[in-house]
Amino acid sequence: MLRTEKIAALFILSGFLLFSVDLPAQKQLLSHDQIFSLRQTNNPVEVVKWIDDNSLIVSEWDEKRILSLITIKKKERIPFDEKDLKQYFPEPAKRLEIQSGNISYGGELIVSSGNNKNPALSPDSAYIAYIKDNDLYAVRISDKKEFRLTNDGSDVILNGYASWVYMEEILGRSSNFSAFWWSPDSKTIAFFRTDDSNVPLFSITDSRDLHGYIETMRYPKSGDNNPEVQIGFVDPEGKNKIVWADFDQKEDQYFGKPLWTPSGKSIWIQWMNRGQDNYKLFDVNPITGKKTEIYNETQKTWIDIDKDNRVNFLPSGNGAIIISDKSGYNHLYLSTTPTPQGKGTSPNPPQKREIYPITQGEFTVLDIIKIDEKNKTVYFTCFKDNIGCTDFYKVSFDGKNLQRLSFGNYTHRISLSPDAKYFVSIYSNTLTPPATALYDTKGKLVMELGNSRNEQNEIYEWAKTEFVTVKSDDGKYDLPMRVILPVNTDKDKKYPVLIHVYGGPAAINVWQGWSSSSISNWYAYEGLVQVAIDHRGSLHFGKKGQDEMHRNLGKVEVMDYSTCVKWLVKNAQVDPKRVCINGFSYGGYITCYSLLRAPDVFTHGIAGGSVTDWMLYDAPYTERFMDHPKENPEGYIQSSALTHAGNLKGKLLLTHGLIDENVHVQNTFQLISELEDKNRYFDLVIYPSNRHGYGGAKEVHFRNLQIKFIYEHLLRKPIPERLKKEIFNE
């Protein structure tokens, strides 16, 4: 099915000239106004809600939202009114809100005093836990009685509130520094008690106010002391003493997000050594604090402790599916739960846990969509059949009956029915706008639900995106690229190229999915080649590829990017004197490093919020890939942009937020100091009062700054009036 829509093989042959001959049927060229006023495609049909395994509600847009009820057995599509949605959605739950430190629930003020943060409702809706002045509190909603659960909070002792580096590198920014977790039965709160006393202070200054602005933060740079963490358990009314998990607070270690088991009778604690090459899972009894090791993994390079989907409990609670890349690729493993001996409110420690592989081979599992414990089947997405395509599979718990459910050379976005009988896929590739289809989980097409093509797509000449692969210099990898081609190319001309990168380990910029925007079409009409490249350490090539980045960040990234640029120069009419690389954060690092390590390949760069020396970034992230500075001094020297500052030949634009608390502005300042000392020239724009990413008027300025750079140095012509009107509001 749909095999006729596969991308033509000529697009992935490394010797093929991308700028192919025009087809006989000529399309109309877009005017400047039409680029911003017309839409190439409509929005695809989306699933609003599965009602049951035989019916679902979908929506599409045609000036307004159109709803339909799909009845699968009859293959009926019935118009559906917006007001009829109410019967399929529960009444909105009472809202938990916080404003200026005041906590309200269901519109009623519950807590009204103090520096209250991060309120979290208990699963039974009887309590609200929150942080005040770095202590953990709870309030009983029925009578608004407040309970103080810890008593030693200070500027360095944080109870239930994460140290900055834990928020950024382990718990994630979505945690908003929250470091406490309700048990499913609402009887216990697990929390981190963090001691930042030995973590070095870092000062951040800003230019605002009469006498300037200074803030300090506890920030461990590579080799520094990390926060010391204890894990405590407390009941919401503080009736019992805090129980501490049986770990040595003084050990140099990291803890991942704790995971309550479905019963709430125990909690799984994720532990990692400072070297981040040994990961353990412990089953901890919250009543006694006693721990039992249930999983132990070591790797020669590193293990990521911040994976949100690493542990997936079976619905019954009798085991879990663990995702690990220890084989060189992300795969599924079944962890069984032995039957506990004896009875009681808390299970006895497991006697032994077995770990069985479910998936194996040279492909990468992405996410679990559903665990069907009754039928011992797991549904998941992966990179397997076509590079850059997300596919949908199912497999039995014993590793047998692996079956591809998705189809064609597409990237699929999946919505699975409640009982896993059917799924809806929104699928696309670089040549095919999103379409939506309903399939059963035996792989049979049930209904086509719609596609997003419109008449503008057929009439006008839009920018074309091609997916290509380039063989790495050592022949080990087929490096993927997305290339947006100029419209109406002249075979006798050379074109500038703009390359967008991030480049960090396991990051991904390139996929075989549909993408179209006004600005990308605009640049295609202006004669700019736009490219995204992924190197061997991207997610496409699993942990096996990432391991080649170990202890020397920057090296393989620049090597692979250079290979792709040389291919573009040879095969795609790219001007070798106008090769611009652009990135932010890690992408800013790669931009700087590329211009300094491959100055004959990369001629221009736009770098924002850049790490310039890995000694200046935080310990957990940096040491994961680089090891401790004492273990790898030469690696730190060679991976530093500062070391190679004297190599700069091209045009480099540096930007940074003055109060960036993530990648400190000292990174950029130290680089410009080295460039000045080496008599190298650059452009610098600092954004006062802005952090890691710019907002408001500064964001607009940064966007316009990039456009000015592109026109001046790559396109080498004035900015058209229509773009000034659209982007610059002139």
Instruction: Provide the CATH number for the domain around residue 697.
Output: 3.40.50.1820
Specify if 355 maps to a domain: no
Specify if 344 maps to a domain: no
pTM: 0.92
Q: What angle do CA 710, 713, 719 make, to 5 degrees?
A: 55
Specify if 579 maps to a domain: yes
| Furthest CA-CA distance within the chain | 82
For residues 200 and 63, which has the higher predicted lDDT (pLDDT)? 200
Rounded to an integer, what distance in angstroms lies between the CA atom of residue 702 and that of residue 705? 5
pLDDT category at 15 given cuts 50, 70, 90 is: very low
For residues 626-633, average pLDDT: 98
**How many other CB atoms sit within 10 Å of the CB of residue 343?**
7
Which structure tokens are listed for 333? 């493993």
Tell me the percentage of the chain whose pLDDT exceeds 70: 94
Specify if 671 maps to a domain: yes
Specify if 247 maps to a domain: no
Q: What is the pLDDT of residue 21?
A: 42
Q: What is the pLDDT of residue 14?
A: 31
pLDDT at 364 over 80: yes
Specify if 417 maps to a domain: no
Given a contact cutoff of 8 angstroms between Cβ atoms, the answer to whether 692 and 173 are in contact is no
DSSP alpha helix (H) spans, 150-281 = 164-166
Specify if 567 maps to a domain: yes
For residues 285-301, average pLDDT: 97
Which structure tokens are listed for 207? 């230019």
Tell me whether strands 102-105 and 108-111 are parallel, antiparallel or unpaired. antiparallel
Of the candidates 414, 353, 345, 410, the one whose C-alpha atom is nearest the C-alpha of residue 383 is 410
Which structure tokens are listed for 469? 């692969």
For residues 672-691, average pLDDT: 98
Rounded to an integer, what distance in angstroms lies between the CA atom of residue 156 and that of residue 80? 57
pLDDT category at 27 given cuts 50, 70, 90 is: confident
- Strand partners of residue 404: 393
Q: What is the pLDDT of residue 84?
A: 79
Q: Locate the DSSP E strands across 41-101.
A: 46-52, 55-62, 64-71, 76-80, 96-99
Element counts in the chain: helices (H) and strands (E): 12, 45
In the numeric block, the tokens 């997916």 are attached to 467
Least confident of 4-13, 177-186, 465-474, 615-624: 4-13
Given a contact cutoff of 8 angstroms between Cβ atoms, the answer to whether 402 and 420 are in contact is no
Given a contact cutoff of 8 angstroms between Cβ atoms, the answer to whether 446 and 439 are in contact is yes
Q: What is the pLDDT of residue 93?
A: 79
pLDDT category at 352 given cuts 50, 70, 90 is: low
Which structure tokens are listed for 646? 């004297």
Tell me the backbone φ, ψ of residue 417, rounded to 5 degrees.
-70, 160
pLDDT at 426 over 90: yes
Give residue-wise pLDDT tens across range 700-730. 999 999 999 999 999 999 999 989 888 777 5
pLDDT at 346 over 70: no
The set of residues, in sequence order, having a beta carbon less than 8 Å from that of 67 and lying 6+ positions away, is: 48, 57, 58, 59, 79, 80, 81, 82, 84, 85
How many domains does the structure of the chain reveal?
Answer: 1
Specify if 84 maps to a domain: no
Q: What is the pLDDT of residue 25?
A: 60
pLDDT category at 17 given cuts 50, 70, 90 is: very low
Query: What DSSP character marks residue 675?
Result: H
For residues 382-394, average pLDDT: 95
pLDDT category at 327 given cuts 50, 70, 90 is: very high
Give residue-wise pLDDT tens across range 35-94. 999 999 999 999 999 999 999 999 998 778 889 999 999 999 998 888 878 888 877 778
Least confident of 76-90, 336-350, 398-412, 484-498: 336-350
Domain that includes residue 633, residue range = 3-30+457-728
